[in-house]
A and B are shown apart, each in its own frame.
Chain A
Amino acid sequence: MAGLDRHSFRAIALVAGVAVVAAALMSGSHEISAERIRLNQRERLLQALHEVLDPAAHDNDLLRDQVLVMDPDLLGKPDPVEVFLASRGGVPVAAIFAPVAPRGYNGPIDLLVGISANGTITGVRVTGHRETPGLGDKIDIDKSDWIAGFDGKSLSMPTLTGWNVVSDGGEFDAFTSATVTPRAVVRAVRDTLIYFEQNREALFSQLAAAGAPADTGASGVAQ
């Protein structure tokens, strides 16, 4: 075997040795950090959910009562969207959607939209965006409280034409030199409300199914 001379053998042994040590190092640090990272992400998600829904308003585990729904037209992406169902004493009080505003200025904008059982908005937050710093990023609660303007709104207040930015004849302020961003957010929130309106019963029946087995029969009878 002319190919496997002393030199090549040393090279292969070296690379193999380093690769084994490197793999051990990485799996070791994964071992140490995996659980913490999972807890961190869970914690962060709960924190975000409680930004759009008062923690006192529900007593269930939002991360457990979580369902996936799909509606590319109204929820903004071709993949399933998480919905977190909130209940208090077994009674549905709100649903929190994680829809996307597909037409941001620099791409999709990730949202959390909290909607109470009677169809009014309990809060909206932007969880991820690439909008222009200083212009479009005013949708971020850290930059301005524009996003708080959705609180308490519903599909009947304002009316459907009111669900637009001012320059499109609606009720929601746009930012100077950045209309695209708020327009995208306003439309996404409106569409989420429409989706909720259309699917309220189906959504909350899943809550009953997931939460208390006894309720499943009751809701079945009601239907």
Chain B
Amino acid sequence: MSEARTLLADGFWRNNVALAQLLGLCPLLAITTTLVNGLALGLATTAVLIATNSIVSLIRRALVPSVRILVFVLIIASLVTTVDLLTNAFFHDLHEILGLFIPLIITNCAILAQAETVASQRSIGEAALAGMAAGLGFASVLIVLGAFRELLGLGTLFSGLELLFGDGASGVELSLPFDGMLAFVLPPGAFFGLALLIALRNYLRTAPEAQTRQTVVEDPS
């Protein structure tokens, strides 16, 4: 099962779609004004990733190199349309908010990249797992960035949760005793937040090495 663990770790952290590959940044920057928006788009993207990866893996032996991109795009576009229609039917309020961004999942090159580099070369189980890992990695960046911007920009957290989980979740919203700084809801806040997250990831990745190097240097003295 170490193969599965590697796949999970790769997709979620080491090759994180947003922080390492820097893919799919357009929806990421645009939609993360609140945690719930980020969560919703993250879940929709994850669903599409798992489904495309599985289907691409299923037909990988029939793939013809010259038309593979065309086939990937056909698959992704039809799945996204399905997700779009179903959210419109069953989560109508949420669909009004996410609006344009669900169809835009089609243009998220992370999905195409997954189909090309992972799914077309692996068994269906592994492909689905890799898709899930990549999707959850992307979703968690959306969630963290959404929470960051909502807290600082609006002074709330979990606002709109009832759109996702029904009226039972309507009391969950937290309100901080300040109005928030507008800049974080506007596009600049998205760039600041993403930059901080990428910096944090780079720090976490390099920090252990830096510490070892330091101890090596310090040892003789």
16 further A-B pairs in the complex, CB-CB below 8 A; given A7-B66, A44-B96: A10-B64, A11-B66, A11-B67, A23-B78, A32-B85, A33-B89, A36-B90, A37-B85, A37-B88, A37-B89, A41-B92, A132-B186, A133-B182, A133-B186, A134-B180, A134-B186
**In the complex, how many residue pairs between chain A and chain B have their CB atoms under 8 Å apart?**
70
**Which positions 25-40 of chain A face chain B at CB distance < 8 Å?**
25-26, 29-30, 32-33, 36-37, 40
- Is B71's CB within 8 Å of the partner chain A? yes
CB-CB < 8 A to A14: which residues of B? 59, 62-64, 67, 71
- Is B143's CB within 8 Å of the partner chain A? no
Binding site for B on A (CB under 8 A): 7, 10-11, 14-15, 18-19, 21-23, 25-26, 29-30, 32-33, 36-37, 40-41, 44, 132-135
Would you call B75 and A32 a contact (CB within 8 A)? no
Would you call B74 and A15 a contact (CB within 8 A)? yes
CB-CB < 8 A to B88: which residues of A? 33, 37, 40
Known: A11-B66, A14-B64. A40 touches B78 (CB 8 A): no
Would you call A22 and B185 a contact (CB within 8 A)? no
24 pairs from A and B in contact (CB 8 Å cutoff):
A7-B64, A7-B66, A11-B66, A11-B67, A14-B63, A14-B67, A15-B67, A15-B70, A15-B71, A15-B74, A21-B78, A22-B75, A22-B77, A25-B78, A26-B78, A29-B86, A30-B85, A32-B89, A33-B86, A37-B92, A40-B89, A40-B92, A44-B92, A134-B186
A22 to B96, CA, bound (A): 25
Closest Cβ–Cβ distance, residue A30 to chain B (whole Å): 6
Binding site for A on B (CB under 8 A): 33, 59, 62-64, 66-67, 70-71, 74-75, 77-79, 81-82, 85-86, 88-90, 92, 96, 180, 182, 185-186
CB-CB < 8 A to A22: which residues of B? 74-75, 77-78
CB-CB < 8 A to A25: which residues of B? 78-79, 82
Closest Cβ–Cβ distance, residue B185 to chain A (whole Å): 5
Closest Cβ–Cβ distance, residue A125 to chain B (whole Å): 14
CB-CB < 8 A to B81: which residues of A? 26, 29
Residue of A nearest to B63 (CB): A14
A40 to B182, CA, bound (A): 33
CB-CB < 8 A to A7: which residues of B? 64, 66
Closest Cβ–Cβ distance, residue A107 to chain B (whole Å): 15
CB-CB < 8 A to B186: which residues of A? 132-134
CB-CB < 8 A to A133: which residues of B? 33, 182, 185-186
A19 to B33, CA, bound (A): 36
